[in-house]
Structure 1
Amino acid sequence: MPDKQKRNVTVRELAKAARVSIGTVSRALRGQPGLSEQTRADVLRIAQELGYDIEKLHTGKPRRILFLYNRAIGALTTNQFYSIVLHGAESACREAGILLSLMSVAPGDDVAAKVRRFESDALLAAGYFESETLVSFQQCELPLVLVDHFHAGIHCVNGDNLNGAWMATRHLLDSGAKTLAAIYGPLSHHSVSLRAKGFRRALFEAQRLLDPDYEVTLDPAIDYDEAGRDAMRRLLKLNPRPDAVFAYNDATALHAIEVCQEAGLEVPKDVRVIGYDDIVAASHSKPALSTVRLDKELMGAVAVEALVRGDVGPADTLLPVELVIRDSSHQSATPRRTTSRRTTAPATTASSSRRSR
């Protein structure tokens, strides 16, 4: 068909005309495997009949990526973790000439119908999603990458949570802490479970016994901020009282410091505290919060790069993390950083939480 007769036919229209899924149309047009030759021929024939411009797919990269997040986290723009992941994804898409759209989802949503309205070529899902929601993503038959989450059979991009927690705990031990405690979010969350494992591994290697009373989790029945304070209050009632606390994220660590100060305790003189993620508030708190830094923008960018390359096979890409020592964990703190290395590992089975970061 002459170019002048080509019009802006969408993949959705092709899928409807060919009576196949959007994912099937995408694979047929891109020459990707997984289709019968008859199905591929039918899609290409209908594309030609409708005047679809196949030339625009010759780059092989997606033209539109849909950024998915769980509505349970609230407004994405105010989330100090995933809003930065989104910014990294936006920057990578802009450099690649890709349109990035945003959509929230929740259990019970007709995900396939919502995705079709965006006419996207690929999906980037950030954070925790219920198993049934992940299945609905896969049923869209579009390239998919998960960020800060894990699911077997999908390319996932995560920080090196186990090593980051190990470095944080090792720092507390090296600083002279005698009685260590930890505060976790839901241990069913992939990143939280690995941070707990890193904390325990550091104690085991140091030949320190760990009383289970000194590991507490946030109470899901109460407000998130108050749950962090409640967890620290529980730890302060223990005998002996912990003199060092590893918190699974910075928000919880900051609430722990508040509780210590309300109880008349000095941080770090009486209780050392270290968090995780290095949110903006960490460096501005008093005392400034020691933490484990993860390049959240890089997470979003790496996910986009994987989609552009078509690298969506099962894998767990681990991004490096950096230990940042500030005043909350060391009385004579001087800027000191230790960094892990980035790796990509085959995907393995893991479970996830129902609660946001």
Structure 2
Amino acid sequence: MADKGVTIRELAEAAGVSIGTVSRALKGQPGLSEQTRAQVLGVAQQMGYDVGKLRTGKPRRMLFLYSRSIGSLANNPFYSYVLHGAETACREAGVPLSIMSVLAGDDVAGQVRRHEADALLGAGYFDPEAMEAIRRCELPLVLVDHFYPGVRCVNDDNQLGAWLATRHLLEGNSQRIAAIFGPLAHYSTSLRAKGFRRALFEAGRLFDPDYEVTLDPALEYRDAGRDAMARLLALPEPPDAVFAYNDSTAMFAIEVCLEQGLRVPEDIRFIGYDDIEEAARNKPPLSTVKMDKEALGNVAARALIEGDIAPNDAALPVELVVRESSMVAPAAVAAMPSARKGRRQAA
């Protein structure tokens, strides 16, 4: 007997193909062989799959998902920009956009149904349980600042950005360069750590794990940034330069240094990542790696609107922005050994 309640996931398993392949076959989209398309359609007919479940054309309503673990979007400058970029694309296309937070254990599918969404834009890191719940919604999905196999993802070039930031500190002849990172399980953070280590390796610097610290997840965000810097300053030989995985963490760390009587950048140099508005207004103004945060959300939303959701990991460009927090005296630069060799783009 035909099962009218069969899901697209069950159909994909029965046909031995991916969910994306099933979606393209049923919608008549290009990118499949005729043999594969016929196989999927045949299995769908045998199982009584309701093709009406797969809506065609642009979405009628998009849902912006983010992890509740990051706190309020109002207090998170990075994702606020991403949301604004997505909202701009949706407004121009006449697609309503709503917002929902997600945490492991939530009834994600039930909440998505109440929003009446037929396209999902996920921003930031989702733990595996939450990610699986999102995938079970069986709706077109694009991720921003995250990576998941088989899903369209939009990120900035995190590894190159961290490489540029670390090379900048190296070219100022800093000898003890430290890094502060968030959870390395996060896709963007892990790539920034890789870029940081690669720059040290290419400069012939030995990697010292004491100079790389991660935020304590048990602490509030600001307290975690301050705690990380305090741990670095407690080392027998404290760092003379710090790369922080985002601007907010860099600014919290600078607070600690100034409170302890250190001068920035004379005694210790800093560079962050993201180029949030507060970075330029910080005292001293914070050097950073700039990305187009609104473009991340805009590109992801347009991909959903245009139906361009084939698995892909797009990397948007980044740019080094040098401000007072990482500047050095000209004499210090002139004294630097020829560490500029090997200046090649990080992949």
Q: TM-score, normalised by structure 2?
A: 0.82
Q: Once the 2 structures are TM-superposed, how far is the Cα of residue 232 of structure 1 from its aligned partner?
A: 0.9
Q: Is residue 2:35 matched to residue 1:38? A: no
Q: Is residue 2:102 matched to residue 1:105? A: yes
Q: Is residue 2:251 matched to residue 1:244? A: no
Q: After the TM superposition, which segments of 4 or more aligned residues of structure 1 sit over 4 Å from their partners?
A: 20-24, 26-37, 39-44
| Aligned 8 A contact 2:291 2:319 in 1 | yes
In structure 1, which of residues 102, 114, 122 is the aligned counterpart of residue 119 of structure 2?
122
Match of 2:338 in 1: none
Aligned residues: 310
Q: Once the 2 structures are TM-superposed, how far is the Cα of residue 239 of structure 1 from its aligned partner?
A: 2.8
Whole-angstrom CA distance in 1 between matches of 2:255 and 2:101: 33
Q: Is residue 2:131 matched to residue 1:168? A: no
In structure 1, which of residues 218, 221, 237 is the aligned counterpart of residue 218 of structure 2?
221
Cα deviation per residue 1:111-151 (whole Å; 9 max; x = unaligned)?
Answer: 11111122222110111111121112111111111110111
How has the CA–CA distance of structure 1 residues 310 and 191 changed in structure 2, closer, same or farther, with 3 Å as cutoff?
A: same
Q: Once the 2 structures are TM-superposed, how far is the Cα of residue 73 of structure 1 from its aligned partner?
A: 1.6
Match of 2:334 in 1: none
Whole-angstrom CA distance in 2 between matches of 1:305 and 1:162: 25
Whole-angstrom CA distance in 1 between matches of 2:47 and 2:301: 27
* Structure 2 SS opposite 1:68: strand
Match of 2:227 in 1: 230
Match of 2:337 in 1: none
Q: Once the 2 structures are TM-superposed, how far is the Cα of residue 332 of structure 1 from its aligned partner?
A: 6.0
Match of 2:132 in 1: 135
How has the CA–CA distance of structure 1 residues 182 and 21 changed in structure 2, closer, same or farther, with 3 Å as cutoff?
A: same
Whole-angstrom CA distance in 2 between matches of 1:136 and 1:241: 44
Structure 1 unaligned blocks of 5 or more: 1-16, 334-339, 344-357
Match of 1:65 in 2: 62
Match of 1:145 in 2: 142
Q: Once the 2 structures are TM-superposed, how far is the Cα of residue 317 of structure 1 from its aligned partner?
A: 0.7
In structure 2, which of residues 312, 316, 319 is the aligned counterpart of residue 319 of structure 1?
316
Counting only pairs closer than 5 Å after superposition, residues 75-114 of structure 1 correspond to structure 2 as 75-114=72-111
Percent sequence identity over aligned pairs: 62
Q: Once the 2 structures are TM-superposed, how far is the Cα of residue 42 of structure 1 from its aligned partner?
A: 7.3
* Structure 2 SS opposite 1:81: helix
In structure 2, which of residues 177, 182, 185 is the aligned counterpart of residue 180 of structure 1?
177
How has the CA–CA distance of structure 1 residues 202 and 37 changed in structure 2, closer, same or farther, with 3 Å as cutoff?
A: closer
Whole-angstrom CA distance in 2 between matches of 1:39 and 1:100: 36
Code of the aligned partner of 2:253: A
Whole-angstrom CA distance in 2 between matches of 1:94 and 1:63: 12
Counting only pairs closer than 5 Å after superposition, residues 247-266 of structure 1 correspond to structure 2 as 247-266=244-263
Whole-angstrom CA distance in 2 between matches of 1:65 and 1:39: 32
Cα deviation per residue 1:171-230 (whole Å; 9 max; x = unaligned)?
Answer: 011112111111111111111111111111001000011211111111122222111111
Q: Once the 2 structures are TM-superposed, how far is the Cα of residue 37 of structure 1 from its aligned partner?
A: 5.5
| Aligned 8 A contact 2:6 2:48 in 1 | no
| Aligned 8 A contact 2:172 2:328 in 1 | no
Cα deviation per residue 1:253-303 (whole Å; 9 max; x = unaligned)?
Answer: 001111111111100000000111111110101100000111110000110
Counting only pairs closer than 5 Å after superposition, residues 8-19 of structure 1 correspond to structure 2 as 19=5
Whole-angstrom CA distance in 2 between matches of 1:230 and 1:112: 38
Whole-angstrom CA distance in 2 between matches of 1:212 and 1:152: 30
* Structure 1 SS opposite 2:100: strand
Whole-angstrom CA distance in 2 between matches of 1:81 and 1:42: 41
How has the CA–CA distance of structure 1 residues 27 and 155 changed in structure 2, closer, same or farther, with 3 Å as cutoff?
A: closer
Match of 1:12 in 2: none
Whole-angstrom CA distance in 1 between matches of 2:7 and 2:110: 11
How has the CA–CA distance of structure 1 residues 272 and 118 changed in structure 2, closer, same or farther, with 3 Å as cutoff?
A: same
What is the root-mean-square deviation in Å for CA atoms of aligned residues? 2.8
Code of the aligned partner of 1:91: T
How has the CA–CA distance of structure 1 residues 247 and 38 changed in structure 2, closer, same or farther, with 3 Å as cutoff?
A: same
Code of the aligned partner of 2:294: E
Q: Is residue 2:71 matched to residue 1:74? A: yes
Code of the aligned partner of 2:173: G
| Aligned 8 A contact 1:146 1:157 in 2 | yes
Whole-angstrom CA distance in 2 between matches of 1:125 and 1:156: 9
Whole-angstrom CA distance in 1 between matches of 2:84 and 2:203: 39
